């Protein structure tokens, strides 16, 4: 009899332990699920490289894919970097050179490339890049625009940065205004600022192809991504779908988005008259591109230390080579 009672008590004890384990497991699953529902707060400047994110908002693709996304626009990279430092955002559209300035010692890493391009725009009296020798060019020396100008002068025109006068202007809209007011002879801009400048009568002397990688990237806070792998992959699905739509429709379907970037009506018309687009989908940053831009950043004392793409990038399921 006593043996039977002990056996019953043992079975009961085992059941109690099992129930406790299941309860804990259930709690862990809830916590894991909760951890993956953080709001995705994306910061960017007013550049075409962030257009897919705003186009997706217009098309309500975030809601359709079950992710909560908030978008924040900044006038300059300096303001964007401050938002990163203040933890106001957990994802950012930036470029490799600007990223190098805060990469070391931060928990922000590269997720993928993003589409986008820069151009050299000059007052129409200047007919060629060589005619800008000794003239003032507005750039942001701390981002990809300075790197683009250096390569453009060297590779195609056998010139150096020292052959022109560099004026540091953080804001692209201010560069457009300075160009219009003839405070500078030329400026490095991205669209839609390129089109704003063209609408003011400026001439594009060179423009990168939007079919190529031009140093634009999407970066993530480690604290966010480690808890939100599923929603991050959903974000990339949305971006890819939106880029397909932009390539089919062009800019014409996104006038409401362009108005948020401060694009004039005339500039919208210029954008809408562009040849068919072929933006590249997000993919892994090429090691050669990373090394070249970080070497440039190192030469400009924006970055110190070992140059390692592996150290500064994430492996994300939706991001392929």
The CATH number given to whatever domain includes residue 273 is: 3.40.190.10
CA dist 6 → 12, 14, 19, 219 (Å): 10, 12, 20, 61
* Residue 225, domain member (yes or no): yes
* Residue 6, domain member (yes or no): no
Q: Quick one: 78 and 220 in the same domain?
A: yes
Single residue among 154, 183, 207 that ends a domain in this structure: 207
| pLDDT at residue 275, as a whole number | 67
3-state secondary structure 232-264: HHHHHHHHHHHHHHHHHHHHHHHHHHHHHCCCC
**d(C-alpha 215, C-alpha 113), whole Å:** 7
Each residue's pLDDT, cut to its tens digit, for the chain (321 residues) gives: 434 444 433 443 443 334 343 333 332 222 333 345 689 999 999 999 999 999 999 999 999 999 999 999 999 999 999 999 999 999 999 999 999 999 998 999 999 999 999 999 999 999 999 999 999 999 999 999 999 999 999 987 899 999 999 999 999 999 999 999 999 999 999 999 999 999 999 999 999 998 899 999 999 999 999 999 999 999 999 999 999 999 998 888 888 888 889 888 899 889 888 766 789 999 999 999 999 999 999 999 999 999 999 999 999 999 998
The strand order across the sheet containing 108-113 reads 69-74, 40-45, 91-95, 216-221, 108-113
Q: Quick one: 110 and 221 in the same domain?
A: yes
* Residue 35, domain member (yes or no): no
Q: By C-alpha distance, which of 223, 230, 287 is closest to 89?
A: 223
| pLDDT at residue 255, as a whole number | 82
Single residue among 207, 230, 259 that ends a domain in this structure: 207
The CB density around residue 175, as the number of other CB atoms within 10 Å, is: 27
* Residue 318, domain member (yes or no): no
Range of the domain at 220: 40-116+213-299
Q: Quick one: 49 and 107 in the same domain?
A: yes
Q: By C-alpha distance, which of 191, 197, 192 is closest to 176?
A: 197
Q: Quick one: 282 and 259 in the same domain?
A: yes
DSSP classification of residue 24: H
**d(C-alpha 6, C-alpha 144), whole Å:** 76
Calculated CA dihedral for residues 70, 75, 80, 86, nearest 10 degrees: -80
pTM score over 0.75:
yes
């Amino acid at each position: 009899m006593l043996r039977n009672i002990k056996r019953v008590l043992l079975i009961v004890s085992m059941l109690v332990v099992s129930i406790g384990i299941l309860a804990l497991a259930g709690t862990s699953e809830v916590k894991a699920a909760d951890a993956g529902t953080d709001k995705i707060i994306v910061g960017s400047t007013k550049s075409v490289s962030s257009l897919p994110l705003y186009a997706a908002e217009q098309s309500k693709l975030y809601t359709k894919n079950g992710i909560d996304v908030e978008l924040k626009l900044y006038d300059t990279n300096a303001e964007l970097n401050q938002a990163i430092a203040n933890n106001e955002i957990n994802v950012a559209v930036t470029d490799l050179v600007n990223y190098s300035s805060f990469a070391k010692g931060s928990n922000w890493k590269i997720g993928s490339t993003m589409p986008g391009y820069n151009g050299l725009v000059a007052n129409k009296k200047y007919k060629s890049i060589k005619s800008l020798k000794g003239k003032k060019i507005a750039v942001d020396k701390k981002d990809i625009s300075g790197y683009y100008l250096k390569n453009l002068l060297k590779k195609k025109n056998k010139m150096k940065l020292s052959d022109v006068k560099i004026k540091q202007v953080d804001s692209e809209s201010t560069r457009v205004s300075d160009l219009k007011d003839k405070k500078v002879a030329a400026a490095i801009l991205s669209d839609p600022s390129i089109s704003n400048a063209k609408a003011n009568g400026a001439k594009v002397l060179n423009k990168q192809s939007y079919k190529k990688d031009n140093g634009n990237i999407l970066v993530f806070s480690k604290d966010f991504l480690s808890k939100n792998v599923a929603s991050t992959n959903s974000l990339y699905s949305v971006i890819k779908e939106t880029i397909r739509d932009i390539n089919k429709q062009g800019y014409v379907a996104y006038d409401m988005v362009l108005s948020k970037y401060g694009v004039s009506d005339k500039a919208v018309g210029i954008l809408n008259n562009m040849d068919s687009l072929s933006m590249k989908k997000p993919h892994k940053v090429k090691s050669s591109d990373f090394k070249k831009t970080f070497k440039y950043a190192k030469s400009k004392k924006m970055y110190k230390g070992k140059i390692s793409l592996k150290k500064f990038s994430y492996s994300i399921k939706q991001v392929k080579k």
